[in-house]
Chains A and B, each alone.
Chain A
Amino acid sequence: MAAVRETVEAARKLEAEKYSAGFVTDIEMERAPVGLSEETVRFISAKKQEPAWMLEWRLGAFQRWLAMREPNWAKVHHPPIDYQGATYYAAPKNAPKYKSIEEVDPEILETYKKLGIPLREQEVLLGVEGAPKVAVDAVFDSVSVVTTFKEELAKAGVIFCSMSEAVREHPELVREYLGSVVPVTDNFFATLNSAVFSDGSFVYVPPGVRCPMELSTYFRMNAQGAGQFERTLIIADKGAYVSYLEGCTAPMRDENQLHAAVVELVALDDAEIKYSTVQNWWPGDAEGKGGVYNFVTKRGDCRGARSHISWTQVETGSAITWKYPSCILRGDDSQGEFYSIAVTNGRQQADTGTKMIHLGKNTRSRIISKGISAGNSSNTYRGLVSAHAKATGARNFTQCDSLLIGHECAAHTVPYVEARNSSCQFEHEATTTRLSEDQLFYLRQRGIPEEAAVALLVNGFAKEVLQKLPMEFAVEAQKLLEVSLEGSVG
């Protein structure tokens, strides 16, 4: 079919300039010496002016990490990572906390502007009464540059700050919850993160509080050779509600950048956490050169009864994605949800999915995954649904659909289902098809250009998930889908 042949040819033409976030900000950096040793860990901890218990925690993780081996079960291939060749800490020089947005280095602000990040949303929103507000904790490489809307959040009793600040200001909360969802020894990358994590966001929503605005973080990797190891911890106390948006984008680099983040969510009784991600890191060029290695551990713990955690992700970037946002449904009647769109193009590889661990009674979970592979890419859904012997009445529904665009791409579905309770009800459905020629023909016949027709069909395919995104993200995500598949179709 001509369209498919054109697709493949066009995919080859996919060039670096298509990636609108691919630029480098030239500012002075303060960085740790290259390599990873106990000294590096001490250096990071000292830079962050951390208390002794935090340093001990990091050193313990580092010792464990030395004895661990990199996992190899995912369907991804990459040259061995040189952990001693990377820099584990990079901060913009002169990194005192800014008191107001005006103090921020203009070049940094310019970077965010190019990305279209609403750091100055205050001005934008001024005069728009009742408009939804978004608080941003912007991470520029390793240091949280500025946190906005802090005061308004403080009025509601919500703590939203950088992880380093939380370690200093709220040690009791950090000590209680840090590592309680993703233990230090959880997996190779999480342990590495525990030793060298640089910064990230910390959120605490007190009992009964509905967070007055959507919280948002944009992560951005900038320094050459500097991996980003952020650590996010979100706690929704009893009856609290919070919606958190995470957006990621990194500038173009030739060398592969390692990203090993850890995100922990804790929902106590009746609490609800919505966590949405749009990931648009540099995927490497058409030949697979460069790009971000995204090895992330994300897990939510529905610790309390009737708690609810929902993950929504749109993954379009990274050379390699290795990510399984999961829910531990510990509390009775708790609920977990996972909505995902993963797009791979060029030579991208994605191995992503979720785990729903049913431990409590009458726990429910729902998984909707839409994988779209184009070009020479490989896209794997890997998920686990399990019910403990005591998880009576556990329910799960899983739907994974894969869409193939072009002859050279691959789509895999690997669900694991483990049932140990006779009253559980687990259902899994999966389909793999290519873009329907009939539908394409129908649209073309009505004068819709091929590229627009494909975008329309892909958006339709992913609609169920797109609808789950908060409004702020939904528009952006739809645009991102189109941009990601640009050149791969028609």
Chain B
Amino acid sequence: MSLALPSRRDEAWKYSDLARALSGHDLSSVAPARGGSVIASMARAFAEEERVLTIASRDGVHAVEHSLSHEARGAVTRIHVPALQAGMVVETIYGHLNLAAGLSEIRIEEGGALTRIVIQQDAQKAVSAEEIAQVALNEARVSVAAGGTFRQFVIAEGAKLARIETHVALDGEGGEVELNGVYMVREGRHADLTSTVTHQAANARTKQLIKGVARKGGRGVFQGRIVVPRGAQGTDARQYHRAILLEDGAEIDAKPELEIYADDVSCAHGNAIGALDADQLFYARARGIPEAEARALLIEAFLIEAIPEDLPQRDDLITRVQRWLQT
């Protein structure tokens, strides 16, 4: 049995037509992984070996940074955060492959903490739509035990189709999740940030802030789902997505979802899509800042709000945003 590729008709892939993006690819060797998603099936089929990473804090206090690069077609990584340990993982997805699928299975034990940074790079040389051939897929499945923390920041520049999926299960009481991200897409690029957070236990918290910009011919997608099953009382969840369409011909699709079966909860989500604020632009211009510069400044300020202040890589990430704005 070969893998059935989801298309626009599948609700979860409504805005990212994988079947279309992968038409012409021979995927007959990919067997559907039992109970796994399309991305997981591909990652397992393409990966030569499974990487295993156990996080241990230096001095029992400082998080150790690990780098994981996705240079092969497939990558499967298991990350284990033992109780009370803290660590950091930076995953880089390069844009030089025709098709790359990554799967990270993360287990955070009681009181453990993991910060995950995902950098999805644009293909450097591609200038025309025909040259952007790559499909970059990544999926993380995360379980967080009581008192555990999972923080993630994704920066995506898009590809012919880039989709970063994150699925978090808050299995223990008092868990915390932060899922932030930025996407920036230019002509011919498509970036999709999809996530699910399931509050299996009570008194857990979720914070999510995703910011995005799209230029002419670029398409940004945000799909975020927060599920609060019966019994997950005391849940606090906030989910925000804000995006700017920089030029005509850009497209942004959003589907923020709240699915709530418990009553003693406080959940909110917000979604705003629009143009750059004309008043802000006027203010900057009135102070003698040339229009192009003022626009870049405003877009930069808009995007970097989603990068957590205390992230050690914050400056590098800001540089990445600035570089994108300059080209």
Residues of chain B contacted by A4 (CB below 8 angstroms): 263
Minimal beta-carbon separation of A106 from chain B (angstroms): 48
Give the size range of A's interface with the partner. Answer: 35 or more
Nearest chain-A residue to B262 (Cβ)? A407
Nearest chain-B residue to A406 (Cβ)? B263
Does residue A425 face the partner (Cβ distance < 8 Å to B)? yes
Residues of chain A contacted by B243 (CB below 8 angstroms): 419
By the criterion CB–CB under 8 Å, are A424 and B275 in contact?
A: yes
Contact with B along A347-390 (1 / 0, CB 8 A): 00000000000000000000000000000000000000000010
By the criterion CB–CB under 8 Å, are A432 and B248 in contact?
A: no
Partner of A424, one of B245, B247, B257, B263: B245
Nearest chain-B residue to A418 (Cβ)? B253
Does residue A108 face the partner (Cβ distance < 8 Å to B)? no
By the criterion CB–CB under 8 Å, are A389 and B248 in contact?
A: yes
By the criterion CB–CB under 8 Å, are B267 and A417 in contact?
A: no
CA distance A4 to B248 in the complex (A): 51
* Given A419-B251, A424-B275, residue A413 in contact with residue B263 (CB < 8 A): no
Does residue B303 face the partner (Cβ distance < 8 Å to A)? no
By the criterion CB–CB under 8 Å, are B269 and A413 in contact?
A: yes
* Given A419-B245, A426-B272, residue A434 in contact with residue B252 (CB < 8 A): no
Residues of chain B contacted by A433 (CB below 8 angstroms): 265-267
Residues of chain B contacted by A418 (CB below 8 angstroms): 251-254
CA distance A410 to B265 in the complex (A): 12
By the criterion CB–CB under 8 Å, are B270 and A425 in contact?
A: no
Does residue A427 face the partner (Cβ distance < 8 Å to B)? yes
Minimal beta-carbon separation of A73 from chain B (angstroms): 6
Partner of A419, one of B11, B258, B273: B273
* Given A389-B248, A422-B248, A422-B250, residue A410 in contact with residue B261 (CB < 8 A): yes
Report the number of A-B residue pairs with Cβ-Cβ less than 8 Å.
Answer: 115
Does residue B256 face the partner (Cβ distance < 8 Å to A)? yes
CA distance A28 to B250 in the complex (A): 62
Residues of chain A contacted by B256 (CB below 8 angstroms): 413, 415, 428, 430
Minimal beta-carbon separation of A487 from chain B (angstroms): 17
Does residue A404 face the partner (Cβ distance < 8 Å to B)? yes
Kindly identify, within residues 389 to 447 of chain A, every residue whose CB is under 8 Å from any CB belonging to chain B.
389, 402, 404-434
By the criterion CB–CB under 8 Å, are A420 and B251 in contact?
A: yes
The residue in B254, B270, B274 that gathers the most chain A C-beta atoms within 10 A of its C-beta is B274
Give the size range of B's interface with the partner. Answer: 20 to 34
Contact with A along B1-41 (1 / 0, CB 8 A): 00000000001000000000000000000000000000000
By the criterion CB–CB under 8 Å, are B255 and A416 in contact?
A: yes
By the criterion CB–CB under 8 Å, are B267 and A431 in contact?
A: yes
Partner of B274, one of A408, A410, A425, A434: A425
Residues of chain B contacted by A402 (CB below 8 angstroms): 258, 260
Name B's interface SS. Answer: strand
By the criterion CB–CB under 8 Å, are A412 and B258 in contact?
A: yes
Nearest chain-A residue to B257 (Cβ)? A414
* Given A412-B257, A417-B254, A428-B272, residue A434 in contact with residue B265 (CB < 8 A): yes
Residues of chain B contacted by A432 (CB below 8 angstroms): 258, 260, 265-268
Partner of A411, one of B230, B246, B251, B260: B260
The residue in B253, B257, B273 that gathers the most chain A C-beta atoms within 10 A of its C-beta is B273
Residues of chain A contacted by B270 (CB below 8 angstroms): 427-430
The residue in A73, A407, A410, A422 that gathers the most chain B C-beta atoms within 10 A of its C-beta is A422
By the criterion CB–CB under 8 Å, are A422 and B272 in contact?
A: no
Residues of chain A contacted by B257 (CB below 8 angstroms): 412-415
Does residue B271 face the partner (Cβ distance < 8 Å to A)? yes
CA distance A410 to B257 in the complex (A): 13
By the criterion CB–CB under 8 Å, are B255 and A415 in contact?
A: yes
Residues of chain A contacted by B267 (CB below 8 angstroms): 431-433
Nearest chain-B residue to A430 (Cβ)? B269
Residues of chain B contacted by A420 (CB below 8 angstroms): 250-251
Partner of A427, one of B258, B265, B268, B271: B271
Does residue B290 face the partner (Cβ distance < 8 Å to A)? no
By the criterion CB–CB under 8 Å, are A419 and B260 in contact?
A: no
Partner of B271, one of A404, A411, A415, A434: A415
Kindly identify, within residues 137 to 175 of chain B, every residue whose CB is under 8 Å from any CB belonging to chain A.
none
CA distance A405 to B264 in the complex (A): 9
CA distance A420 to B245 in the complex (A): 8
CA distance A320 to B75 in the complex (A): 45
Contact with A along B38-64 (1 / 0, CB 8 A): 000000000000000000000000000
Residues of chain B contacted by A429 (CB below 8 angstroms): 268-271
* Given A389-B248, A407-B263, residue A424 in contact with residue B268 (CB < 8 A): no
Does residue B259 face the partner (Cβ distance < 8 Å to A)? yes
Residues of chain B contacted by A434 (CB below 8 angstroms): 263-265
CA distance A416 to B272 in the complex (A): 12
Minimal beta-carbon separation of B296 from chain A (angstroms): 16
Nearest chain-B residue to A428 (Cβ)? B271
* Given A426-B272, A434-B264, residue A419 in contact with residue B255 (CB < 8 A): no
What 3 A-B pairs have minimum CB-CB distances, sorted nearest first? A425-B274, A422-B245, A404-B263
CB<8 Å pairs between A and B, sample of 25: A402-B258, A409-B261, A413-B256, A413-B258, A415-B257, A417-B271, A418-B251, A419-B251, A420-B250, A422-B245, A422-B249, A422-B250, A423-B275, A424-B245, A424-B273, A424-B274, A424-B275, A425-B274, A428-B270, A428-B271, A428-B272, A432-B265, A432-B266, A432-B267, A433-B265
> Which B residues lie at the A interface, using CB under 8 A?
11, 230, 243, 245-275
> Which A residues lie at the B interface, using CB under 8 A?
4, 73, 389, 402, 404-434
Besides the contacts A409-B261, A422-B247, what 12 more A-B pairs have beta carbons closer than 8 Å? A408-B230, A412-B257, A414-B255, A415-B256, A421-B245, A423-B248, A424-B274, A426-B271, A430-B269, A432-B258, A432-B266, A433-B267
